[in-house]
Chain A
Amino acid sequence: MREIQAGQITDVVERLCIEANQHLPKDVQEAIRTCRACEDWETAQGVLDKIIDNFEIADKEQVPICQDTGMACVFLEVGQDVHIAGGDLREAVDEGVRRGYEKGYLRKSVVKDPVRRGNTGDNTPAMLYTEIVPGEQIKITVGPKGFGSENMSAIRMFKPSAGLQGIKDFILETVETAGPNPCPPMVVGVGIGGTFDKAALLAKKALMRPIDEPNPDPYYADLEKEMLEKVNQLGVGPQGFGGRTTAIGLNIETMPTHIAGMPCAINISCHVTRHKTEVI
């Protein structure tokens, strides 16, 4: 049994909120640069150049890459041999978000009630997911998620007879419908299987995986590659002004499901797809 202080979790969450918002992950930076090199449409080249300038400025000057510093999605993988001492875990995470968004000059974008609204003023609560895993460590991932792209996401409960073609069509339809709204070039997170709720979580987790790391199952790795190519034939282009680069990455996560169903969720993200991980 290893004891970890709640305050230590707060400190890490605080730091990850700030760093994730200022420094675009290397895999996303590389994907944008690679797409810029392949882009043959002049307007699109100009937009991608400005997008590269932007993340370089943010990186160097330590300012937020985008003004939508998102809802703080926090994933904790807690080793089963860990004892968290000195405070409530949920409060420790929220305190980390509260401090990170204040100290990092990040935007507070959370309302306390979905219908009656009213800003909470400190960007809490975090969207917190905890998973118990073997070991005596805690892996903390913070993924600030903007809502221009979140709003263009979709979920569908397919009949098994819809098959792979149903999923392929759904991906293309969702990206095309999203069009210019989610700040393309996008990252597309696809979750297939589980239940209604699990499919959505898989899609979110797909966005936390580096886009240069294919699905370990070659069947889905091939599907990721095929669908990214197809998405990039839609012509939406950077910012929706036309061009090849509609998406810079497409990740698929799957899990077993019921004999009667094939849930599929698509979580759309923007070119500022952020996530940062630390293990304590």
Chain B
Amino acid sequence: MEKHITLPLTEELAKTLKCGDTVYLTGTVYTSRDAGHKRMCEALARGEQIPFDPKDATIYYVGPTPAKPGQVIGSAGPTTSGRMDAYAPTMMSVGARGMIGKGARLPEVVEAMKKYSGVYFGAIGGAGALLAKCIKKAELIAYEDLGAEALRRLYVEEFPVVVIIDCEGNNLYENGRAEYLASKRK
């Protein structure tokens, strides 16, 4: 199904999204990759706050290219999500709910998604020039020393994603392939 939603991703909204849905996101998302996640989780372990309010937040796993003059942001497609698996359950435990990336997730991430009503969205990996067009504002908020891996607040409009894993744990990587192969056996 095709859906157009406005962030933040509340629990109620998350539960309406099903594996395989094409979703167009409008609203605020935060960028972070490996190094940023590591720092945020270390801060949480010390009992400190992270640089943004995690409640109902959506985190985009991306390290964009530098913006050319006149651009909001450079190319900005998703990075491989599996590298954030070690940190994702912690992020969900403090309220973050949406994740945008590409590639497989570990069972412990899926379990945390079921527990906290998390949603894993896939953006098209390698389509950084196209996806950047949906990013209307970009603002550096923390960890500037990490360069491409710094934390940014983005405002996105009609940002195209697909629900890969929904909050019940249904997985498009498993279902999509199985359905395709079944169609070939008919």
Contact = CB atoms under 8 A, between A and B. Distances in A.
Interface string A49-60: 011011101100
Interface residue tally of chain B, by bracket? 35 or more
Contacts of B127: 50-51, 53-54, 66
Contacts, number: 150
A105 B126 contact: no
B149 to A, nearest CB: 8
Interface residue tally of chain A, by bracket? 35 or more
A47 B124 CA distance: 7
Nearest to B103: A181
A65 B129 contact: yes
A5 interface: no
A121 interface: yes
B75 A51 contact: no
A3 to B, nearest CB: 36
Interface stretch (A73-81, A155-163, A199-207, A237-245): A237-245
Given A51-B124, A67-B62, A271-B126, A235 B180 contact: yes
Interface in A216-247: 235-237, 239-244
B15 to A, nearest CB: 22
A92 interface: no
Contacts of B128: 54, 64-68
Majority-rule SS of A interface residues: loop
B64 interface: yes
Contacts of A240: 103-104, 173, 176-177
Interface of B: 20, 35, 62-68, 71, 74-77, 79-80, 82, 102-104, 122, 124-130, 132-133, 146-148, 160, 162, 172-173, 175-181, 183-184
19 contacts: A50-B160, A54-B127, A54-B128, A63-B75, A64-B75, A65-B128, A106-B66, A117-B35, A146-B126, A179-B104, A183-B102, A240-B103, A240-B173, A241-B162, A241-B173, A242-B176, A242-B177, A242-B180, A270-B125
Given A66-B128, A272-B126, 12 more contacts: A54-B128, A58-B75, A58-B129, A63-B65, A64-B74, A67-B148, A105-B74, A108-B148, A119-B146, A237-B180, A241-B177, A242-B181
